[in-house]
């Protein structure tokens, strides 16, 4: 069963927040617990509301989404962060993912797709397709530098962890990975946990970014 979503909306435009609230408030598994106009008091906002997910604009006038995401990383049990962006113009997207965001959505994402994406994130699944991940990497980082760094990090993983990492980069769920690799779901979760701890990552999106750099030919 998908966990319930306790959602904090963070956007400097009140019309955007109002639209999101209208769109999401009718969902039985979504509880909008608070709103904020920027990330100035993001840690306090999360602590006061008990939010387990933050839907956050990247570009805000005071404390932007990147800075707010980085602040949330210091919490003992940080919420999932999903960024709102205009993809083609926003140069903070990749940095937000590297800071620990679970993914990003375009502001014109259809309501059904938005709701489905939030449910996927709260269940622990990434919301970036391999194609979007590759476009982000190519747009914002230097190929030689990131390949060298990724090779070193990927080499720290055991063969079993590498196989799971590649499957994560393909956008596969834990159950699908378990079926493909002939292991239990618990084993898949254990491998993912070890990868995150070993490399200092926060989520599956960062694993996908690593694999796209280190083993692009294995991501089908």
* Tens digit of each residue's pLDDT (9 = 90 or more) over 160-215: 999 999 998 887 888 889 999 999 999 999 999 999 999 988 778 788 888 888 88
What average pLDDT does the segment 43-65 reach?
90
The reply to whether 11 and 77 lie within a common domain is yes
Cα diameter, the chain: 49
CB atoms within 10 A of CB 220: 7
The reply to whether 11 and 51 lie within a common domain is yes
CB distance 52 to 6 below 8 Å: yes
Task: Indicate which CATH number applies to the domain containing 146.
Answer: 1.10.10.10
CB distance 22 to 48 below 8 Å: no
Domain that holds residue 39: 5-127
What average pLDDT does the segment 46-58 reach?
92
The reply to whether 93 and 115 lie within a common domain is yes
Q: Where are the beta strands (DSSP E) in 66-179?
A: 80-85, 103-106
């Amino acid at each position: 069963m998908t966990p319930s979503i306790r959602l904090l909306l963070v956007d400097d435009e009140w019309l955007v927040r109002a639209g999101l609230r209208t769109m999401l408030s009718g969902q039985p598994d979504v509880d909008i617990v608070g709103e904020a106009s920027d990330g100035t008091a993001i840690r306090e906002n999360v602590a006061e509301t008990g939010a387990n997910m933050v839907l956050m604009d990247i570009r805000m006038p005071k404390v932007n989404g990147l800075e707010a995401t980085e602040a949330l990383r210091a919490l003992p049990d940080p919420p999932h962060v999903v960024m709102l962006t205009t993809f083609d113009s926003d140069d903070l997207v990749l940095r937000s993912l590297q800071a620990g965001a679970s993914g990003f959505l375009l502001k014109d994402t259809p309501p059904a797709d938005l709701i489905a994406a939030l449910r996927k994130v709260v269940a622990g699944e990434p919301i970036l397709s391999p194609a979007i991940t590759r476009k982000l990497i190519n747009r914002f980082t230097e190929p030689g530098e990131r390949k060298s760094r990724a090779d070193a990090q990927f080499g720290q993983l055991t063969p079993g962890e590498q196989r799971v990492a590649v499957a994560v980069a393909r956008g596969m769920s834990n159950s699908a990975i378990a079926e493909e690799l002939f292991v239990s779901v618990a084993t898949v979760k254990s491998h993912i946990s070890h990868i995150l701890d070993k490399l200092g990552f926060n989520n599956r999106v960062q694993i996908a970014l690593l694999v796209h750099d280190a083993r692009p030919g294995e991501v089908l």
